[in-house]
């Protein structure tokens, strides 16, 4: 488990991370969302021990991170701009990391390199941005660490490669003790992989929610009432968070138990009613709307 308590990091007059308290549970994909400059990279660098907090503390499995080799064996950090040794090949980087990670799996490295179609002997400096991202992921997964920290890892990957990486993460989670923490400025990239999502804005944590819990309490309902039905009194009895009407189709996002919501709407004798899955965008809008934030402006 990763625990951050009242963590703050400043660079001169700039507060990059401001009093963040957060718990990241094991065995779940945690998505860290926020615009460029929101503090995601700074927070991940503190998680990885590259930076130390000015205030507060971060523990990984009850261990301090900074200058702690035992703790650092538990995670692999893939930064937004991956660093490789000058004129190094992929194999040379693999040999370097295998010296620092006791569980490094060289056979898996070779298998993934072949699957991704990367040339192991070619100098990394000649790789494209997307190829460098792929190599970073291969090196990280081959380290067989408990945690992997990914800073904008999907940025630069084509849609097919993004899905392949997500599948690899899911496979590792099913086979071993593995927890990915993925930072991204694009919420839609994480739509189909995250179990928990935290939203950073201007260095502060607006919210951190388990998506299953949110989805169990918030529902998207589409309903069509007969033209002569006055349905306003029914809506007044519900906790309606969003209300949109196009033609005769009424789309509602409502907080509460789904059966109770539908029972109340059924009193209006609707000619059509169905539940739809909520998108991450809709979850964030409903969860932060009371705070007055325009989530679309923050995330996209």
Q: Is residue 283 part of a domain?
A: yes
Domain count of the chain? 2
Q: Is residue 76 part of a domain?
A: yes
Measure Cα distances from 77 to 6, 34, 45 in Å: 22, 19, 8
pLDDT tens for 83-132 read 899 899 999 999 999 999 999 999 999 999 999 999 988 999 999 988 99
Question: Residue 287: pLDDT band by 50, 70, 90 thresholds?
Answer: low
From 147, 172, 202, the end of a domain falls on 202
Q: Is residue 210 part of a domain?
A: no
Using the predicted structure, report yes or no on whether residue 48 has a pLDDT greater than 90.
Answer: yes
CATH (domain of 286): 3.30.70
CB environment 204-233: b (16+ within 10 A), e (fewer):
bbbbbbebeebeeebbbbbbebeeeeebee
Q: Does residue 39 share a domain with residue 81?
A: yes
Q: Is residue 209 part of a domain?
A: no
Q: Is residue 74 part of a domain?
A: yes
Q: Is residue 208 part of a domain?
A: no
- Residue 69 to residue 101: CA distance in whole angstroms: 10
- Of residues 151, 174, 149, the one with CA closest to residue 27: 174
CATH (domain of 154): 3.40.50.300
Q: Does residue 196 share a domain with residue 220?
A: no
Residue 39's SS3 state is: coil
| pLDDT of the residue at 290 | 42
Q: Is residue 281 part of a domain?
A: yes
Token pair of 289, please? 């709307």
Q: Does residue 181 share a domain with residue 134?
A: yes
pLDDT tens for 212-270 read 777 778 889 999 999 888 999 999 999 998 889 999 999 999 988 999 999 999 999 99
Q: Taking all residues of the chain, what is their mean pLDDT, rounded to a whole number? A: 89
Domain span including residue 126: 2-202
In this prediction the pTM is 0.81
Q: Does residue 117 share a domain with residue 6?
A: yes
Q: Does residue 270 share a domain with residue 128?
A: no
Q: Does residue 225 share a domain with residue 195?
A: no
């Amino acid at each position: 488990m990763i625990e951050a308590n009242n963590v703050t990091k400043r660079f001169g007059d700039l507060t990059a991370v401001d009093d963040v308290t957060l718990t990241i549970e094991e065995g779940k994909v945690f998505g860290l969302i926020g615009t460029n400059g929101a503090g995601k990279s700074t927070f991940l660098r503190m998680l990885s021990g590259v930076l130390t907090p000015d205030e507060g503390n971060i523990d990984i499995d009850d261990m301090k991170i900074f200058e702690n080799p035992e703790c650092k064996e538990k995670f692999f950090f893939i930064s937004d701009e991956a660093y490789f040794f000058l004129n190094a090949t992929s194999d040379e980087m693999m040999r370097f990391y295998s010296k620092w990670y006791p569980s490094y799996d060289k056979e898996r490295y070779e298998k993934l390199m072949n699957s991704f179609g990367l040339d192991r002997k070619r100098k990394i400096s000649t790789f494209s941005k997307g190829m460098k991202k792929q190599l970073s992921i291969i090196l990280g997964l081959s380290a067989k660490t408990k945690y992997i920290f990914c800073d904008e890892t999907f940025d630069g990957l084509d849609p097919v490669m993004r899905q392949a990486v997500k599948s690899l993460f899911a496979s590792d989670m099913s086979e071993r003790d593995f927890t990915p923490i993925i930072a991204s400025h694009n919420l839609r990239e994480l739509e189909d992989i995250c179990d928990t999502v935290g939203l950073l804005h201007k260095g502060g944590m607006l919210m951190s929610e388990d998506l299953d819990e949110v989805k169990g309490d918030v529902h998207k309902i589409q309903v069509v009432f007969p033209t002569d039905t006055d349905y306003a009194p029914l809506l007044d009895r519900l906790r309606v968070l969003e209300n949109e009407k196009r033609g005769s189709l009424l789309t509602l996002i409502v907080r509460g138990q789904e059966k109770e919501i539908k029972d109340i709407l059924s009193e209006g004798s609707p000619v059509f009613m169905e539940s739809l899955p909520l998108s991450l965008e809709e979850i964030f809008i409903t969860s932060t709307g009371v705070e007055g934030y325009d989530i679309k402006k923050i995330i996209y």
